[in-house]
Structure 1
Amino acid sequence: MKKLYIIIILTFVALNTWAQTTVKGKIFDAITKEPLAGASIFVENSNEGTHSNSMGAFNFTTHFTIEKVQVAFAGYQSVTVTLTGKELSIALSPTSNRIQEVVVTASREVQLRREAPIAISKISSKQIEETKPTIINELINKVPGVIMTNLTNEQHMMAIRQPMTTSPYFLYMEDGIPIRPVGVFNHNALLEMNMYSLNSVEVIKGPSSSLYGSEANGGAVNFITLKPSAIPTVRIGIQRDNFGYVRTQFSGGSYVNQNLGFVASGFVAQQRNSWLTYSDYNKYGFNLRTDYRINDRSKLILAGSIDKYRTEMTGSVDSSGFYNRKYQSNNEFTFRNVNALRIRLTHEFEINKNSELVTSLYIRNNDIEQLPSYAIKKDLNNPTIAHGQHNDNAFKSIGFVSQNSTKLKFLNSKLITGLSYDYSPNTYWASYVSITRDTKTGFYPSAVEHPDSVLANYKANIANLGAYFQYEFSPVQRLKIVLGGRYDNIRYNFDNYLPSTAFTGAPDSKNSFDSFTPKVGLTYNFNPDLGAYANYSRGFCPPSVNQLYSGVKVPSLQPSKFDNYEIGGWATVLKKWLYVDFSFYQMNGFNEVVSYRLVDNSTESRNSGKTLHRGIEYSLNFTPNNQLSFRFGGSNVVHQYVNYEVSSTLNYNGKEMPQAPHFIANAEITYRPSFLKGFRVATEWQRISSYFLDNGNTQRYNDRTLFGLKGVSTMNFRAGYNLKGIEIFGNLMNVSNELYANNATLGAFGKSFTPASPRTLTIGLTYQFRGRQNQ
């Protein structure tokens, strides 16, 4: 009898084992091929399944006899995959109508957009891939309420809840690490970015100093770079336009084994004989990242980038040259030369299933040498001469950011704490350049440097210690409250190597700036497709080293502070075809540093007292089917001086700030016909309304362009066809060949313009090799 029982048991075990099905594979992004961690893999109509790990891999066994599994991940189209008996390689495609579903910048870690009580926009890998940008502003300007102004040859300035400005109110980051230290802001800092290394871009609008520290006031832009791909991937490409721009580029990588992966990307670009004279430039960039999994709980990431840039700096164009389309540079000697190196080592450690510690160590080495066209000052007493300078601004940094995230059972809460330190010695020198001027043409035919006439020569050791926390909890279902704050201590140790009689004659000094920046926010999700948020946040920004010391005798600038009040929401409606997002905000600025133009056409930094920044930002994405999608983003804003007294007899109280358009919009419609798989065509519209050019609001940039609208109104057209990894594409920018200015200013000698490119056609070819995939 016992033998019979044993036989029955063994038979049952054998049959049960025989009936089991093992499912294993990896899941990754269909565009970037990066592994997707946390994707759901499950048997249809059952509770059996699993989630992908940090490498995108999964493995589970089921007692069901199955032929297919379902795969889902937030922000991606769900798929059903047929089992083949082999390891699966599953590519998920990003959705078009919910591209902002997952973000990382709101809390320095991955979270759902609907849980973040801030205005944040995401440019996805799909948008980057289809835009095929020549310069970064072609991406950034898709974000509602944002203007990244092209000042030629990738030089730029920004407007996020601010006028178009060169002031240090925007924080630029690469994978959450600022690309520059506090106090050494440069409005052209995004020159140092490799577009071909990008996975996505996230933009926080409004102060985020409570998490990222000073300078994150108008907004913070986080460039998230590529990770090693789940399958071997290599991509190469070339593109050129009809005005002498050529760029070749590559990227490639994979996991070598289950523990080690790498990705590399780079490009070489050059501009020759453009529509604008004296505007040739060269740019090179290379990024390398290696991921190494030490064990199931620990991972190392080593990433680095090198960027080199040199450009001729054409001067602005006067009214005659602009309106007659005679884009003649006023000089042939100005230049900018940039060398940038960044390296970081990140350790991700899972302390337990509820707690994670991420620590990044980094170094930077940056140098900008230039003889800038914007620094040319006309002599008020002698019209045949002008004055300029040759300068070099360099820094070397070492620092770290360490953050712990712990989930707590109490009120379904999470506590994030962090500590950061940055030490950046900054050196600056400048020598005088005498310039001759042709009074008939306004051209500067020659310049002579005087090395013995030193205008500035100093060193400032910058130290920034920051500590922050963020506590999230849910007192009731659907409601999440976020409390946060950060303390920053910033010290400048300034050593001047020149006497007090020099152009920069500020005495040796030690300046310290301390600030606590709080944040309070909440989100309420009525359902998974409808939510609202509100927040209060404070921003803080000390004057930069250059603003504080260069060209002055005694430092006088005070730190700027901003109080931001905001409400917003989002909804997905019409069978999830339509996604809408909006925010109302009012930001009050105190001691905001503004650029005041002097009679010789030069500028100096001054505190303005009190300013007001108020507006509404809104966006919608409409995707009725897989063939058609429509995107619109816009903002209506007011930027105003509340209290700005220049002297006892002059104030600008109640005046609008210069270069502050009331309306900004960007819209795009894309068609991907089902009858021609791999083909896409898109039309984009960029709109910037007119704006004042001076503090007194006496003159405007008010030209009429497309559709009779005043300011900027231009159309762009993009098309591409991808067949078996080979893609040919074309971008036609400024389709109607509008005459408009990317930037207009008013000086002592009249208006000057940075003209936008005339109609420009860029064509390109890319080839992508990738390993086997099931979807």
Structure 2
Amino acid sequence: MKSRFSPACSGVVLLAVAGSAFAEHTTLDGMTVTATRSSQSALEQPVSIGYKKSDEIKLDNAATQKELLNSISGVRITQTGSSIGHMTSIRLPSNTGPYYLFLQDSIPVQSSGFFNHNGLAYTNFSSAGSVEVMKGAGTALYGSDAVAATINVLSVPAFEDEGFKASAETGSDGFRRYGVTGGVEINDHSNVSTTISHAESDGWRDHTEYDRQEFAVKYVNDINDDNTIKLGLTVNKTVAEMAGSLIGEDAFKHDTESVGNVEDAIASGIDIERKFDFARFNMEWNHVLTDNIELNSIAYIRSNRNRYIATWENNLPQNDSEENTVGLLLKANMDFGRVRNISGVDFEFTRSSREYTQLFDFVPSGFGSAVAAGTIYDYDVNYRAFAPYSRVEIQLSDKFKLGAGLRYDINSFEYTNNLADGQYAASSYSRASSDNDPTFNHLSPKLDLAYQMSATQTMYARYANGFRIPQASRLYSLRTNNIDFSLDEEITDTFEIGYKWQSDRHEFSGAIYYLVIDDTIVRRENGAGDRYYVNGNETTHKGIELSLASKLTDELTSKVAFSYSKHEFKDDDDFGDNEQSQAPNDVANVRLIYSPKAVMGLTAMVEWEHVGSSWMDDDNTKKYDGYDVGNIKVRYDVTKQLSLHARINNITDELYAESATISYGSERYTPGAPRQAFVGFDYKL
């Protein structure tokens, strides 16, 4: 049993901090940048956007992606067995598919053809200044993968205030985190800022130790009133041990901290780890051409590497994939009073490689086929993306605004197989031939109408067509069941109506959506239990998202996020009209934030997280009941230089599952973390 802070010790720590603590009251700030890559009031935008600003993020002090995002309406991030790995559920069931576009400072962190469902690990999420989630199909600025949501992790502003801040934190299960953030003014028109952090943990489960570093540096130069140059370098690196699934409900309830179904492999010496490496350099030029026209260009080079043992496959193959990318984003903002136009073009070229290796001879004891030791896949792919787009907004009257957008995407793959074509040994793995070079073209129309009921209220209706191309791994990492099958892109249609209201003390947002995905790429299993992918029929996704932030008093703020959704197959060959698995109908997050005037500098928050029941498989044979978890977080600004913070996650020590599925003929659980406590400080140097 791993050592953790005891509940009594955790409570004493929080009470000690709360007894002399304080923080700024949470404020409501409705400016976002994701929809158009320029700052705009969320109230004015005919799209559902959830966001968190710096004061709330400081209180959360997130160590995982879900701590940063799960308080936003309709957002559910689940952590996987590697602690830093994750899956995303926004307007879709929890899944590993490329339905989400992940951005760091409005620039994609990965290419569409090489989606990694752990992509938020490529962002500097634990040192974020703010975060925005644009739900539903993206605006005309975004193409493939921006189907269900676009998540934009934004850095601390380049020059918030001069000087540097050091931070340190410790907590349960050997958690330690250290960092330095700050900036200096070079002269009257330029500055530089940097963020450095290191986090490590022994892990609360066996074999879940991890180590992570984040680094970012930014340079901003306001050359004159018409020209600004920004340079940025972002680097992060993660090494995380991976635990497996707990097989069966009894193991989930009574052997929660065990490594699960990979115990024998670890004992045999297999290095079961997940390693993420990310680096990006970007240069941005903003130029005011005339009083009505502003030009923006972003050039970037990026490197991604993803190494892991595929613990979800019984034969535990090893993956090593790498992508090196150059990209260019060009955009023009044209504002002519009642008519506004945003037009641009995106370019990207990615050179990738993948090696998939069987480290030992595998003979199945149940499901799956035998796999001989050796290299299963070894291939290279060149990927090119080109997409012009345009969006027009017309102010029809003082109350009505009409918006329309078009985007045309061209995505092409050029594949080279470095091994013999066809079946690998006697296994179900198969290698595609080198003449498989598909191109996917798609025109995405968008249309919206906004009705400004008053200066503080807006209603809107929106239609957005979207798509997502197959990943390179789906095109070229084949199985014998679909060696001659070529996947088509998925086509999506999103219909949405929404209402927004902002006042000095309240901010409300509500949206009702209906999403149809045609030619859904679905997973099948052959007679031996091996998985492969084909285009299926339609899936439908419908729901409601509600969020309300209120300053109840000068000392008390509440934040409520709620969503209800239903996700179904439609005439599927295997699943008929069943509900999809891993899709809780109801998800809620409630926060009460208290900043007493009697104790200047203190902010304390209690939080309730609710996740409803969900099917464990697409055959709808069994449901997981869901869970409720409570958290407490406190921050105290002792002086202008020194701040203390503390938090207890899962205060009732609830036993719950991040994911609960039926796969390979057995129930599989990924347990959520037990009660954990953390304390730390920030000190301005």
Q: Quick check: TM above 0.5?
A: yes
Kindly state the Cα deviation for residue 491 of structure 1 after the two structures are TM-superposed. 0.2
Alignment partner, residue 43 of structure 1: none
- Decide which of 693, 696, 700 is 2:619's aligned counterpart: 696
Q: Deviations over 1:148-185 (max 9, x none)?
A: 11114211000111000000100001121110011100
Task: Please report how far the alpha carbon of residue 599 of structure 1 lies from its aligned counterpart in structure 2 after TM superposition.
Answer: 5.6
1:728 is the counterpart of 2:649 = no
SS at match of 1:373: coil
Q: Which has the higher contact order (CA 8 A, sep 6+)?
A: 2
Which residue number in structure 1 is paired with residue 661 of structure 2?
Answer: 745
Task: Report if the CA contact (8 A) 1:368-1:393 is conserved.
Answer: yes
Does residue 1:163 correspond to 2:93, yes or no? yes
Using the alignment, how far apart are the partners of 1:180 and 1:364 within structure 2? Answer: 8
For residues 512-551 of structure 1, the aligned pairs below 5 Å read 512-551=439-478
Write the mapping of 1:313-712 to structure 2, written as runs, cut at 5 A. 313-319=242-248, 320-329=250-259, 330-331=262-263, 332=266, 333=270, 334-375=272-313, 377=314, 387-409=315-337, 412-434=338-360, 450=373, 453-501=374-422, 502=424, 503-508=429-434, 509-552=436-479, 553-572=483-502, 576-598=504-526, 602-645=530-573, 651-702=574-625, 711-712=626-627
Deviations 1:634-679 (A, max 9, x none): 111010001211xxxxx32210011111101111001010000111
1:100-111 → structure 2 map (5 Å cutoff): 101-111=30-40
* 2: CA distance, partners of 1:602 / 1:287: 42
AA aligned opposite 2:54? S
Note closer, same or farther for the CA distance 1:598–1:147 as it changes in structure 2 (3 Å cut).
farther
- Note if contact 2:616-2:624 (Cα within 8 Å) is conserved in structure 1: yes
Q: What is the CA-CA distance between 1:436 and the residue it aligns to?
A: 7.3
**Alpha-carbon separation, structure 2, partners of 1:675 and 1:723:** 14
Counterparts of 1:746 and 1:189 in 2: how far apart (Å)? 25
DSSP-derived class of the 2:478 partner: coil
Matches within 5 A, 1:104-143: 104-143=33-72
Within 5 Å, which residues of 2 pair with 1:149-298? 149-152=78-81, 153-208=83-138, 210-229=140-159, 231-272=161-202, 274-298=203-227
Q: What is the distance in 2 between the residues matched to 1:689 and 1:435? A: 41
User: In 2, are the aligned partners of 1:538 and 1:562 still within 8 Å (CA)?
Assistant: yes
User: Is the contact made by 2:65 and 2:86 (CA closer than 8 Å) also made in structure 1?
Assistant: no
Structure 1, residues 277-320: CA drift from partner, whole Å, max 9, x if none?
01111111110110112222111111011111111111111222
Per-residue deviation, 1:136:
2.0
Distance 1:196 1:661, change over 3 A: closer
Q: Does structure 1 retain, via aligned residues, the 8 Å contact 2:540–2:568?
A: yes
Contact 1:209 1:217 in 2 (8 A): no
> 2:169 aligns to what SS in structure 1?
strand
Which structure 2 segments of 5+ residues have no match?
Answer: 1-22
Find runs of 4+ consecutive structure 1 residues off by over 4 angstroms: 93-97, 435-439, 597-602
Q: TM-score, normalised by structure 1?
A: 0.80
Distance 1:757 1:540 in 2: 35
C-alpha separation in 1, matches of 2:511 and 2:575: 29
- Partner residue of 1:715 out of 630, 639, 642: 630
Structure 2 counterpart SS, 1:551: strand
Amino acid at match of 1:469: S
Indicate if the aligned counterparts of 2:43 and 2:502 stay in contact, CA closer than 8 A. Answer: no
Partner-residue secondary structure (3-state), 1:466: strand
Rounded to whole Å, the distance in 1 between the matches of 2:189 and 2:669 is 54
Instruction: Answer whether contact 2:25 2:594 (CA < 8 A) is retained.
Output: no
| Structure 1 position 698, deviation (Å) | 0.9
SS of corresponding position for 1:243: helix
Q: CA deviation at 1:226?
A: 2.3
User: In 1, are the aligned partners of 2:649 and 2:675 still within 8 Å (CA)?
Assistant: yes
Residue pair 1:103, 1:110 contacting (<8 A) in 2 also: yes
Partner of 2:7: none
Q: How many residues align?
A: 640
The verdict on how the C-alpha distance between 1:678 and 1:285 changes in structure 2, with shifts beyond 3 A counting, is same
- Give per-residue Cα distances to partners, 1:568-626, cap 9 Å, x unaligned: 101246xx433221001101110112333556555332322101100110011111222
How far the C-alpha of 1:372 sits from its partner, in A, is 2.5
- TM-score, normalisation: structure 2: 0.90
Gaps of 5+ in 1: 1-92, 378-386, 443-447, 646-650, 703-710, 770-775
Question: Is the alpha carbon distance of 1:658 and 1:230 closer, same or farther for their aligned partners in structure 2, counting shifts above 3 Å?
Answer: closer
1:303 pairs, out of 232, 235, 250, with 232
CA contact (8 A) 1:358 1:402 kept: yes
Deviations along 1:387-427, whole A, 9 cap, x unmatched? 22122111100010000001114xx1211101110000111
In structure 1, how many angstroms separate the alpha carbons of the residues matched to 2:182 and 2:64?
Answer: 21
Q: Is the 2:25–2:603 contact (alpha carbons within 8 Å) kept by the matching residues of 1?
A: no
Structure with the greater alpha carbon radius of gyration: 1
TM-fit CA distance, 1:751: 0.5
In 1, Cα distance between equivalents of 2:37 and 2:372: 47
Distance of 1:507 and 1:402 partners within structure 2 = 36
